[in-house]
Amino acid sequence: MDEAATKPVSRTILQASAVGLLAILCYLPSLRCPIDFEDDGARLPNMAAEETLAQRWERTWFGSLEEARFIGPFRPVYHAYYEFQSYLFGTRIEAWRLTRLAILGLSAGLFYVLLRDLGIPGWPAGIMVLISVTAPLRSSIWYRLAFGEGQAMVLVLIALLAARAASRSRYGWCWDGVGILCVLAAILTKNVFVAVVPAQMLLRVWADGESLWAGIKRRWPVALLISSTVALPIGHVIYFKTQVDGASDYEVIAPGLTQLLDMVRGVGLAAGWDFLAVSFVITLLAVLCSKRARSLLFDEHRRVVLAGALLLSAGVIVYLPALMGRSPAGRYTIPAVWGWDLIGAALLSATAGIGVVSLRRLAGATLGIGLAVMVGLNVYQQVEFTCRCQTLWETARWLRDHAPTECQVGLGDRSMSAAEAQHLQGALEGLGRSDVTILPSETTLETALDQHVDVMLHRVGAEVPEGPVLTKVIDHSRLIKEVFPARMARRRRWGGIAIESQAVSSRTAAANGGEDAPR
């Protein structure tokens, strides 16, 4: 490769590095967060276990098989990722957080490279990448340790870049192998990433300088080979429907219009439309009214738009049977929302063809304001979540030090959600107090006595009845007020625990000791 050809590549890599660094800067507040328990892949007992890599691999494989048999998902790559990190880092939370930020930066950089390779200019590509990684409704995949969508994004982007490289390389079969392996790894992280296959096939057969139909006629056998990865999730669904024993959290239902509308609404929110709708509506109307801009969108960026449409459609379809009549959480719109990111990048690029300068400036100004608000809310969510995790650990340490042996802990009115109670149980196990049981439902004093509850957790402001139980008062505003002004804290009261507590107990057995959790 001559020097003239290497300059654009070097410039793109440098720009991608800058975009990745900027994405990392947006998530620096997450470095203060202790270990969280938002899913079943980052349990402290596994992190702290002194085991060899072979022992961890054995637990990963057989645990994945058991999960597939009794619950439904089969995701050995997902579990292997956390077991390998546990082997490397143990409970050093700083290493876990820095690794997560490195994956974020790599994902942002690869996404930028993909958009540039598909013909999107630098500034629309960079803006769309920042929107993609900072949109508040799906940002949790970057500051919560146990969500698999983050590492899967790297695999998906490598697969799509490999498809592009294979379409113009003499050694296309090597790139095809890379793409197939990455998609398989993504599917074994979470099987919904099978939705990437149609876009991967399109980018593989549609080479630069030729029509889509000509590419299909020349490369349909390769497309058929790439599509073979679909057999894995199809086989998993068949096994799930015929062999899974007992009840499962992943029941599949017949999709309908309600699920479709819920998914479309979820994708819109995850795409940041509540912040960017004005800008994108102005941009879309201006592009449709300009012949040159329409040509840019539907001719020059036709490949990007079609690939995004395939990814968006397939991503919506794979989740429809699993919504069970509820709106999807932000991360459940992935990978569908990535399809919108591709379309949005093409739309932003087409603004260069808008002849009315005032419209371009208006669209750019509203986009900048929306992006700034979105990043600000993202940072606030990270701080809020950090405070919540600190609440969890302070409560867990208090229970470790004060709860009697073999005791049950009841939850007062709105003191803690059921999910938080589950995470608190995991924290106690990691602190060596597996003898303490957190009851999953709210408990009154009367039912506490009937169920032999030894400790009650109460929120600040609640009436704390006197009785023969140990009580702890939780304040969901203290820590957040230390970071933000009191006015903002009053809007959303969350995170923190009051140091002061009441103890009116006739049972004061000493609890087992344990090491503090990493902070």
Q: Where are the domains of the chain?
A: 403-453
CA distance 251 to 234: 15
Which pLDDT belongs to residue 490?
37
Asked if residue 203 lies in contact with residue 176, where contact means CB atoms within 8 angstroms, the answer is no
- The residue type at 297: L
**Rounded (10°) angle between helices 418-430 and 357-402:** 50
Which pLDDT belongs to residue 53?
85
Using a 10 angstrom Cβ sphere, with 0-12 exposed, 13-18 middle and 19 or more buried, the burial of residue 176 is buried
What tens digit of pLDDT does each residue of 51-72 get?
888 888 888 888 888 888 777 7
Rounded alpha-carbon distances, angstroms, from residue 387 to 66, 475, 476: 34, 11, 9
Using a 10 angstrom Cβ sphere, with 0-12 exposed, 13-18 middle and 19 or more buried, the burial of residue 35 is buried
Asked if residue 185 lies in contact with residue 155, where contact means CB atoms within 8 angstroms, the answer is yes
What totals of helices (H) and strands (E) does the chain contain, helices first? 22, 5
In DSSP notation, 109-148 reads HHHHHHHHHTT--HHHHHHHHHHHHH-GGGTHHHHSTT-T
Which pLDDT belongs to residue 244?
61
Which pLDDT belongs to residue 497?
34
| Cis preceding-peptide flag for 233 (omega within 30 of 0) | no
CA distance 217 to 211: 10
Which pLDDT belongs to residue 454?
72
- Look up the pTM and report it: 0.85
The CB density around residue 285, as the number of other CB atoms within 10 Å, is 13
Asked if residue 134 lies in contact with residue 30, where contact means CB atoms within 8 angstroms, the answer is no
Alpha helices in 289-335 (DSSP H): 291-295, 302-319
CA distance 386 to 165: 41
Asked if residue 507 lies in contact with residue 470, where contact means CB atoms within 8 angstroms, the answer is yes
List the 408-411 sheet strands across, edge first: 437-442, 408-411, 455-459, 469-474, 503-504
Secondary element (H or E) of residue 470 = strand 469-474
pLDDT in tens, the chain (519 residues): 444 445 677 889 999 999 999 999 999 999 988 877 655 544 555 666 778 888 888 888 888 888 887 777 888 999 889 888 888 888 788 999 999 999 999 999 999 999 999 999 999 999 999 999 999 999 989 998 878 899 999 999 999 999 999 998 888 899 999 999 999 999 999 999 999 999 999 999 999 888 899 999 999 999 999 999 999 988 887 877 776 655 455 666 667 788 888 888 889 999 998 899 999 999 999 898 888 988 888 989 999 999 999 999 999 998 887 655 556 677 889 999 999 999 999 999 999 888 778 888 898 999 999 999 999 999 999 988 888 788 778 888 888 888 888 888 877 765 667 777 777 887 787 778 888 888 766 666 566 666 667 777 766 655 555 555 566 666 555 555 555 544 333 333 333 333 233 332 333 233 333 334 333
Which pLDDT belongs to residue 180?
96
- Indicate the length of the chain as a whole number: 519
CA distance 474 to 481: 14
Which pLDDT belongs to residue 327?
62
- The residue type at 16: A
The CB density around residue 436, as the number of other CB atoms within 10 Å, is 25
What tens digit of pLDDT does each residue of 18-48 get?
999 999 999 999 998 887 765 554 455 566 6
